[in-house]
Amino acid sequence: MFKSIPLATALILSSSSVFAAEQPNWASCVVELQQKAKNEGLSQQTIDSTLANVKYVPRVIELDNKQPEFSQSFENYFTKRVTDWRVAQGRKLYKEHKVLLDKLAKQYGVPPQYLLAFWGLETNFGSYKGKMPVLDSLATLACDPRRSSYFTQELMQALKLKERYSFATSDMVGSWAGAMGHTQFMPSAYAKYAVDGDGDGKADLWNSTEDALTSAAHFLQNLGWKRNERWGREVTLPKDFSYEYLGKAQAQPLTRWAELGITQTSGSPLSTPDMQAALYLPSGHTGPAFLGYDNFDVIMRWNRSTFYAIAVGHLADRINGGVALKVAPPEMPSLSRARVKELQIQLNDRGYDVGKPDGILGANSVKGLQAYQRSQGLVADGYPDEATFKSLGVK
């Protein structure tokens, strides 16, 4: 759940990934963190038992710096996450935790299949919760200049959690970025939204499934989850669809989508309340199309990735008895950053302002790409397929 930080953006700023194994200012930084903790009201005992022995972990910086040369295709992402095993496991766990999940649905408005889907995607239903010592990871990131203030805050929250619940430092393990427990809560979310679901006096997101699921429901409610609404759905586009509106910035009422000829994959008309929905084509026009409703945006607040939101939504549907995607995600070549960067340069040269070329297809790039494709009579889906690369002279 750490990914709500614009990681890609932050990573571009560090052009070099060569980091010394030892951080030169580590010792003085730890002293500053100790002072900060004191100012935040943490007890000397907590500080001594944590920040006095905290360790710099070069691996954390390495992982934080990892800048993939290729962006993963939707097919690759999706098929690894929405698997038959996870669907079956989700259904099995629903039976196992039915009383709790039904209670949470009533209390927080989040249906069981969604909680199971988040749980499945975050930690494979608790089977992999991460083993990195959270306090070391957070201190390491707090002492790295790039996002120091964010991780310093998270570290302070983690220390407060330790103090509040008397957690042993060695039990506070998680992802390299400090996300913890069954549903990978960052410390600030843990502090704010974790709930003691089983009533033992402690919100323990590592060891209590009941606490973890209750906390996830509570968090989603606070992120704005709309009771009785779906996440969105896979849809069928009519032939010769114009792709006039694409992505969150161009959300339209469902009635408008229906007018444009979009239907459910069964062929049934969209139910047409005055709900806003955004169209997503994660593999371009040859792949599946999705409309994302308000709850799609809620999932994006948990993890700002459209791939993630589609995977959570679809896995939830499958767990709830739904069928596989009607259009299987096509295998697409991985896009190298260098190639996308060249494409951005070519678009800029032709007057489609996509901003500074960075090799990442953001909203501006998609918009510029669409305008270019339209001008050339190509399918204007904002996806850089081979025809588009060829037309722009990008090898």
Q: Which residues bind Ca ion (CB under 5 A)?
A: 196, 198, 200, 202, 208, 211
Is 160 or 314 the residue whose CB approaches Ca ion more closely?
160
Q: How many CA atoms lie within 13 A of 180 on its CB side?
A: 33
Min separation Cβ 192 and Ca ion, Å:
16
Tokens of 256: 């408008």
Q: CA-CA distance, 365 to 216, in Å (whole number)?
A: 34
Cα(30)–Cα(36) distance, integer angstroms: 10
User: Among residues 55 and 164, whose Cβ is nearest to Ca ion?
Assistant: 164
Shortest distance (Å) from residue 182 CB to Ca ion: 12
Closest distance between Ca ion and the C-beta of residue 207, in Å? 8
Q: At what angle do helices 134-142 and 58-65 cross, to 10 degrees?
A: 70
- Rounded-to-integer distance, Cα 115 and Cα 106, Å: 13
Alpha carbons 143 and 256: distance in angstroms, whole number: 50
Query: Can you tell me the distance from the alpha carbon of 114 to that of 213, in angstroms, rounded to the nearest whole number?
Result: 10
Nearer to Ca ion, 144 or 204 (CB): 204
Question: Based on C-alpha coordinates, what's the Rg of the chain?
Answer: 23
Q: Which residue lies nearer to Ca ion by CB, 126 or 359?
A: 126
Pairwise CA distance, residues 395 & 373, whole Å? 17
Residue 95 host element (H or E): helix 84-96
Q: How far is the CB of 191 from Ca ion (least distance, A)?
A: 15
In angstroms, give the least distance from the CB of 126 to Ca ion.
15
Specify the residue, 143 or 213, whose C-beta has the smaller distance to Ca ion: 213
Residue 14 to residues 18, 148, 170, 214, Cα–Cα distance (Å): 10, 14, 31, 38
Burial of 99 (0-12, 13-18, 19+ CB in 10 A): exposed
Least distance to Ca ion, CB of residue 66, Å:
35
Nearer to Ca ion, 174 or 181 (CB): 181
Token pair in block for residue 234: 């896979």
Q: Which two tokens stand for residue 141?
A: 């990131």
Least distance in angstroms from the C-beta of 321 to Ca ion: 31
Amino acid at 255: T
CA distance 114 to 58: 36
CB of 178 to Ca ion, least distance (A): 21
Count Cα neighbours of 159 within 13 Å in the Cβ-side half-sphere: 28
160 or 339: CB nearest Ca ion = 160
What is the C-alpha separation between 18 and 110, in angstroms, rounded? 44
At its nearest, how many Å lie between Ca ion and the CB of residue 190? 13
20 vs 168, which CB is nearer to Ca ion?
168
Rounded to 5 degrees, what are φ and ψ at 232? 145, -165
Q: From the CB of 279, what's the least distance to Ca ion, in Å?
A: 42
Q: Which of 318, 302, 304 is nearest to 233 (CA)?
A: 318
Q: Is 163 or 342 the residue whose CB approaches Ca ion more closely?
A: 163
Shortest distance in whole angstroms from residue 224 CB to Ca ion: 26
Name which of 212 and 312 has its Cβ closer to Ca ion: 212
In DSSP terms, 84 is beta-bridged to none
Residue 333's CB is within 10 A of a number of other CB atoms, namely 11
Nearer to Ca ion, 126 or 292 (CB): 126
